[in-house]
Structure formats: structure tokens, C-alpha cells
Amino acid sequence: MSSIGYRLKSKENKQVSIYLYLRPPNSKVISARTGLTINPINWSKSRMRAKPKDPILKSLNNNLDSISKFISDKLNEELISGIDFNNKWLKKKLDDFNNRASEDDLSYLINFLDFLIWNLKYKRANDGSQGLKKNTIKGYFSFRKILTDFEDAIEEKLKFNNLDNDFIEEFFKWIVEEKNYSKYMVNRTMKRLKNLIKEASIKGISTSINPDIIGKDYSFKPDKIINVFTEDDYNKIKELKDISPFLENTRKWILIGLKIGQRVSDLLAITPKQIRFDKDNIAMIDIKQEKSGSVVTVPVKDKYVVSILKNELPHKISHQNFNKYLKEVCKKADITDEVDGYKYNPTWKRKKLVNVPKYQLLTSHDLRRSFATFHYNKGVPINFIMNITGHKRESTFYEYIGKDPKRDSDAYTFLNAINE
């Protein structure tokens, strides 16, 4: 009777090869690399499988199960031939398995997407580190669910060489009319489909459609209402007193955030080691931005915030709690003017247009946007602002702060014309 198992040959804290060990009937044990890798901390030696802690590791176990079945079938087919089962034979069969998967299975959208999801764990992030962030990978799994739901709806498995304009049109209408997705979700889904087709083409998979046709005709310009902290809001928060310690801690982070213009992940990660002071008592904060990997130095001149940075840097707080307490701080600071904005509605399971007190709509993300808007309105050149905020393109920056430079330019041209 034959037996199949899997082992690792290294315990190093890095990706290592998974080996298949096979004992054919009346023969010695043979082994070969499977072509799959894993970090030993995620491996169960007793079960000879990955610890199923996340979808990627579960997918790895499914691959190992498929390999076991393939090798077992090939072994049974060739037992009667009397061939010599050795390492070379096993390596050839594993190559056959991997070639079969790459040549046939990956022509299907779902299988290729699974291949991409698996490899995302080893793709280089913007900061040069290995592996993309969990939320990015989670987004791909969400897209996978959308594609499988669509396949169920049309009762067909999608292949790259069968895609055409009619498919794009049908898929777009389905997510808009049947799934009733928000404009943002529609745009993100169509962008992921476009990128999936591009990736397949790069990998040499035959595609029957140019992904660039998924352009403006298959996207929405999302409605955007921007609410930012004003200078008056800043002063109200600065002067707020007699609040609980956790709200006081949040108040300090808000004031710092409004003066440094960073993403919340970079803001809440600041430590005293990153802060220095020049001879004029201006704080200089050195930040390596998590998303881009760029290193920036942010100057802070505001005396009140400099005092916080120098003497009483607030303690760490989770992003979730920060958003929760931020609203409470703003409410106590009387930032309560009625404004329009989009707020998540649990009944509709999406954001809806509402008119509510301003503090209900403000979030940690608005700190960076407020910084950018304030300095833009002050006439600071946008390249200086973008260097601080981490924006790479002017068009993205203008959209971020809700400005249209051409429209503003036309308005000033009109004013100049009527004043002549």
C-alpha cells in the first residue's frame, strides 16, 4: 500500500519549499519539491498541512490535496507497468501537475484569480517589503465572490478567451441593476476586472478582449461632498477642557493630525524618536509613510502642538477607537453645524446622503484632507503640499480636496474681463 505525505526541510523564519514524500508499494521512499512554499510558523508537522489560519493557507491545503490525488492516480495507473518509481519519476509527475494547472486551469478567470491571490503574499509592496497588506488581499477575495456570484447567475464558467464587449456590458449591468452596488463599489469592481485581464495577458494567457475598453463608459463619477475641519474647528478643539482622559488623549492626536497632514496609520505610529526640535523650537517629524515607503520631514510651527510633541505626546490608540472618540471630542467642542454628507445606513448597507451635525461625519481621514485644503487655500504651492501628504499626481490631489483648477482659472479670467 502506498502513502503520501508532506514535509519541510528547513525551520528558518522565511518561505521554504514543501516536499512531497511518497512510498510506493514494495519500494523505498521517494521525494521531490511540490513547487509550493510556506513559512514554517504556519506549518503543522503532525498534520502535514498548513495551519488554516486564513484563506490563503486554506487554499494552499486545497492545492496539496489536489497534488495528492493527482500523484495517487498516476501511481495506480502505472503500477502494472513495472516501472521504477524514483525521485526522477515523482519530479516528472509534479511537473506534469503544475504544467496542467498553468496551461488549462488558468484560462478560467476564477482559477487565475486564485493564482494571483496566492502570489499576492509574495508580491513586493510599495515600500519594498514582501507581501501586500491584509486589507488589499481581502479586497481580492471580495472580488472573487462577486465573480463566482455572476457565474452562478449566468450559469457559465468564465474563460479569458471567451470574453467580449457583450460580457463587459452584461457584467456591468448586473452589478449596477441586480446587485445595486454603490458608485464607488461599481468603479472598484470594474477596475479589478480590468486589472485581472491585464495580468492574464502579461502572464501569456490568451485573452479575447482589450482591457482598456473598460473605461469611462463602465464607471461612475462618484458624488462627493467634502467636509473638513476649519480653523474655527481647530480652535474649538484646542480650547476644549474638562474631558475624560481617553478623550483628552484623542484631542491631542486630532490637533497633531491637523498640523502634519499624514494618513491616520502614519499619524498614530509617531514616537518621540521621530521628533526633533530646531533652534527656533520648530518641531521636525521624520516619517516613513506606510503606504508609499516615502520618507518625509514635516515641520510644525504651531506653539500649542509643538508643546504637545515636546512634553506630552499622546499614548497609542487603535484606529477604530480613534474614529469613535474623535466624534465625541468634536461633539463636546460644539462642532455641530448641520451639513450634508454621506453616512453609512445599516438598513441599506451602504452610505446615504444625510443632513446631520458636522461632528457625525468627521473621521480620522479628514485630518489629512483638512491639512491639504487649508494650505491650498492659503496659496501654498501644491507640490510642497503633495510632498507632505504623499500624493503623487496633481489630478489625484485636486480630486482629494474637491478642487477644479481649470474651473477656478476660468472664473478668475471672467472677473478680470468684467473689471477691465
What tens digit of pLDDT does each residue of 78-119 get? 887 778 889 989 998 998 887 654 444 788 899 889 888 877
Task: Work out the pLDDT band at 282, boundaries 50, 70, 90.
Answer: very high
Q: Taking the CB of residue 123, how many other CB atoms lie within 10 A of it?
A: 12
What pLDDT does 256 receive?
97
Phi, psi (deg, nearest 5) at residue 299: -85, 140
Amino acid at 374: F
Q: Give the C-alpha distances (Å, rounded to integers) separating 186 from 44, 212, 226.
A: 40, 16, 21
Is there a single domain that holds both residue 58 and residue 199? no
- Cell 453645524 belongs to residue: 337
Residue 186 in any domain: the answer is yes
Is there a single domain that holds both residue 242 and residue 169? no
Residue 312 in any domain: the answer is yes
Is there a single domain that holds both residue 69 and residue 126? no
Q: What is the DSSP letter of 159?
A: B
Whole-angstrom Cα distance, residue 158 to residue 297?
Answer: 49
Residue 359 in any domain: the answer is yes
Is there a single domain that holds both residue 390 and residue 264? yes
The domain tally of the chain equals 3
What pLDDT does 358 receive?
95
What pLDDT does 221 receive?
64
Mean predicted confidence (pLDDT) in 256-262: 97
Cβ atoms 207, 197 nearer than 8 A: yes
How large a percentage of the chain has pLDDT more than 70?
90
What pLDDT does 211 receive?
85
Is there a single domain that holds both residue 205 and residue 274? no
- Per DSSP, helices labelled H in 79-133 are 87-103, 109-120
Residues 315-367: tens digit of each pLDDT: 999 888 898 999 999 999 999 999 988 776 666 556 677 899 999 999 998 99
Average pLDDT score over the chain: 86
- Composition of the chain by helix, strand, coil, percent to 5: 55, 15, 30
Query: Residue 164 pLDDT > 90, yes or no?
Result: no
Whole-angstrom Cα distance, residue 201 to residue 75?
Answer: 35
Is there a single domain that holds both residue 211 and residue 293? no
Is there a single domain that holds both residue 282 and residue 393? yes
Residue 108 in any domain: the answer is no
Is there a single domain that holds both residue 168 and residue 99? no
What pLDDT does 13 receive?
83
Mean predicted confidence (pLDDT) in 236-262: 96
Residue 69 in any domain: the answer is yes
Is there a single domain that holds both residue 127 and residue 30? no
Is there a single domain that holds both residue 267 and residue 399? yes
Residue 223 in any domain: the answer is no
Task: Work out the pLDDT band at 232, boundaries 50, 70, 90.
Answer: very high
What pLDDT does 125 receive?
53
Residue 225 in any domain: the answer is no
Residue 257 in any domain: the answer is yes
Q: Taking the CB of residue 52, how many other CB atoms lie within 10 A of it?
A: 16
Is there a single domain that holds both residue 259 and residue 361? yes
Among 70-74, 156-160, 275-279, 280-284, name the one with the lowest average pLDDT. 156-160
User: Which comes out higher in pLDDT, residue 149 or 163?
Assistant: 149
Is there a single domain that holds both residue 13 and residue 143? no
Residues 41-59: tens digit of each pLDDT: 999 999 999 998 877 788 8
Whole-angstrom Cα distance, residue 239 to residue 232?
Answer: 11
Question: What are the strands of the beta sheet with 16-23, ordered from one edge?
Answer: 3-8, 16-23, 30-38
Q: Give the C-alpha distances (Å, rounded to integers) separating 329 from 175, 242, 258, 312, 315.
A: 39, 11, 14, 18, 16
Q: Which residues pair with 22 in a beta bridge?
A: 4, 30
Range of the domain at 17: 3-103
Asked which of 172, 197, 218 is the last residue of a domain, the reply is 218
